[in-house]
Amino acid sequence: MHGIALITGASRGIGAAIARQAVQAGYDIALNYARDTAAAEALAAELRGLGRRVLCVQADVADEGQVLRMFERIDAELGRLTALVNNAGIVVPGARLQDMGVERWQRVFGVNVIGSLLCAREAARRMSTRQGGAGGAIVNLSSRAAQLGSPGLYVDYAATKGAIDSLTVGLARELIEEGIRVNGVRPGIIETEIHADSGIAGPELAAAAAQLPIRRLGRADEVAAAVLWLLSEAASYTVGATLDVSGGR
């Protein structure tokens, strides 16, 4: 019995791979997405075929009201949450600092940082053994950008992931005595549609891959495998860790 997992930003990319592996591992899941209802519903239908309950729930994680309503639906339709994957995240177009505006900062911090805080808060309220919960696990998606800084590309995005690394350490130490394990994963360059949003085209990705020690891009399922391990009982003594899944980058 694995319990009930919320995966944010699961209509495509890494989140969809996490959703698929979570269902295969025996979780019932809430599959969150922001805009692409058709993609989310198609994935949900496929995963229901594996015999688990899959609740498809639209919510912008940066919006507190939408997050609160999403958790209320999960309570009512699935039951008490035992796992959260804070995966929803956005990048921003490549730019230098001097050319950036405050609107993009508010949006990228809103989704990547406030969104993770909001979902972690609502999950902790339900999982905490001090509040009648059964404990649980949270995994936050960071990025190697947190440590590399992404100069000339998106230092703001990198800074949101630096914040996620701090959040993982702090929450892990705050919540472990309430039965909640918090960890993170730092992907390198993974082949998903996210790069198009920052204006990075296929040939540039291939060139970047050639520079990596492993000489190839990562796959979403390779990140998902690390997330599922961190959620699992096999990681029962792993607390506040952030695992690099980056091909040696």
Distance, C-alpha 204 to centroid of its chain: 25
Name which of 77, 171, 181 is nearest 129 in CA terms.
181
Regarding 80 and contact with ligand NAP (CB under 6 A), the answer is no
Which residue lies nearer to ligand NAP by CB, 34 or 172? 34
Name which of 147, 151, 148, 125 is nearest 138 in CA terms.
125
Name which of 165, 156, 83, 92 is nearest 119 in CA terms.
83
State the nearest-atom distance from the C-beta of 1 to ligand NAP, in Å.
Answer: 27
Binding mask 179-218 for ligand NAP (x = CB under 6 A): --------x-xx-xxx------------------------
Contact predicate 228/2, CB 8 Å = no
Binding mask 60-79 for ligand NAP (x = CB under 6 A): xxx-----------------
Burial class from Cβ neighbours inside 10 Å (0-12, 13-18, 19+) for residue 213 reads exposed
* The residue count for the chain: 249
- Whether 157 is catalytic is yes
- Among positions 24, 26, 36, 177, the unique one binding ligand NAP when judged by CB under 6 A: 36
Distance, C-alpha 217 to centroid of its chain: 19
Residues 99-118 close enough to bind ligand NAP by CB under 6 A: 111, 115
Residues 142-181 close enough to bind ligand NAP by CB under 6 A: 143
Residues that bind ligand NAP (CB under 6 A): 8-15, 32-36, 60-62, 87-90, 111, 115, 141, 143, 187, 189-190, 192-194
